[in-house]
Amino acid sequence: MSIDRVSTAAQTAFFLSQIQNAGNKLDKVQEQIASTKNANTYAGFGDKAQVLTATIAANARNDAYTNATKFAVTQTDLQDTQLSSLSSLSASLKKAVSDAVANNDGTTLMTQAKSIFDQAAAILNSKDANGDYIYSGGKTDVAPVTVGSLAALQALPSVTGAFANGNLTKSVQVGDGVSVSYGIAASDVGTGLMQALQDIANFDAGPTGNFSASTNLTGPQSTFLTNTITQATTVDTNLNAATAANGYVSNRLTDAQTQQTSMDTLYKGFVSDIQDTDMAKAATQLSLNQTQLQAALQVTAGLHQLSLLNYLPAPTAGG
């Protein structure tokens, strides 16, 4: 009589499959721990893959909005400083004219007017970090103010000829379907001031002008300057309004930046929940899988060592 093994081929195959499954699970957890990712392909995330790819795409758009908004904020901050300077220049012009009337002396008026023009033209022809004219209205490579002196401004038939900017208003997309306009054209904020300066220069060049020689203002000079105070007041009011409007835009952009930062945190957290390995959980699973593999190996090895002899009683002495 032959003594066969207890284990069968089917049992052996079953336990070998258990060893393979345990080994695969162990390899997967080890890979997750090494890469810190739950999977290396989208297919590995199963039914969460579509949500993961959509979230990654949304965050990429948010990053693009963030970069564009950052540039717009930088420009509106610069515009705020420059518009405040233009407002100060209009206030200086009003004061210069008011002082001339109050002191009955126009000898320094034109010197101050020339200085105000030079500073205003420099502001309106300023460039951004990319070398583009800020107040160009879309014509970024063209200086928006075409005249280089008060005399050249005075020689123009119309103050509109002093501007070469376009009419395009810059805008930035700060979110899905949300845009904020922030660009300003030189003619929009500079026409009033340039008109006042041209009017003064034209009067000065006329038959009753010549303020530089007027230690005592004539009747026509006094009347003209008195009317100019009202004009300068309007210019100052309009520039202050433009500065306030730019500040409102700046606040909108800053609010958008805050929201973009919040969305970035939300998106990255959501992606991390799906994509990144939970190290504490993975370590526990690794230990469990190691135990399962070891158990499967021991059981399988034991099966191959069993035979019916293991179940026969031990022979007795002399039996």
Q: Whole-angstrom Cα distance, residue 316 to residue 268?
A: 75
Q: How confident is the model at residue 278 (pLDDT cuts 50, 70, 90)?
A: very low
Q: Which residues of 154-165 are buried (b: 16+ CB within 10 A; e: fewer)?
A: beeeebeebbbb
Q: Whole-angstrom Cα distance, residue 284 to residue 287?
A: 5
Flag the least confident range among 10-19, 90-99, 148-157, 218-227: 10-19
Q: How confident is the model at residue 58 (pLDDT cuts 50, 70, 90)?
A: confident
DSSP 316: P
Q: How confident is the model at residue 53 (pLDDT cuts 50, 70, 90)?
A: confident
Three-state secondary-structure class, residue 181: strand
Q: How confident is the model at residue 11 (pLDDT cuts 50, 70, 90)?
A: low
* pLDDT > 70: percent of the chain: 71
Q: How confident is the model at residue 1 (pLDDT cuts 50, 70, 90)?
A: very low
Q: Whole-angstrom Cα distance, residue 294 to residue 26?
A: 11
109 compared with 169, residue with greater pLDDT: 109
40 compared with 108, residue with greater pLDDT: 108
The pTM assigned to this predicted structure is 0.71
- Of residues 202, 234, 233, 203, the one with CA closest to residue 221: 203
According to the model, what pLDDT value does residue 49 have? 74
Q: Is the pLDDT confidence value at 277 over 70?
A: no
Q: How confident is the model at residue 288 (pLDDT cuts 50, 70, 90)?
A: low
The answer to whether the beta carbons of residues 137 and 157 sit under 8 Å apart is no
Q: Which residues of 252-287 are buried (b: 16+ CB within 10 A; e: fewer)?
A: bbeebbebbeebeeebbebbeebbebeeeebeebbe
According to the model, what pLDDT value does residue 3 have? 45
3-state helix, strand, coil in the chain (%, to 5): 70, 5, 25
Q: Is the pLDDT confidence value at 184 over 60?
A: yes
Q: Which residues of 172-192 are buried (b: 16+ CB within 10 A; e: fewer)?
A: bbbeeeeebebbbbbbbbbbb
DSSP 32: H
According to the model, what pLDDT value does residue 61 have? 93
Which residues are 37's β-sheet partners? 276
According to the model, what pLDDT value does residue 260 have? 92
Mean pLDDT of the chain: 82
Arithmetic mean of pLDDT, 110-134: 95
According to the model, what pLDDT value does residue 269 have? 79
Q: What is the DSSP string of 42-96?
A: GGGGGGGHHHHHHHHHHHHHHHHHHHHHHHHHHHHHHHHHHHHHHHHHHHHHHHH
Q: Tens digits of per-residue pLDDT, 71-113?
A: 999 999 999 999 999 999 999 999 999 999 999 999 999 999 9
Q: How confident is the model at residue 247 (pLDDT cuts 50, 70, 90)?
A: very high
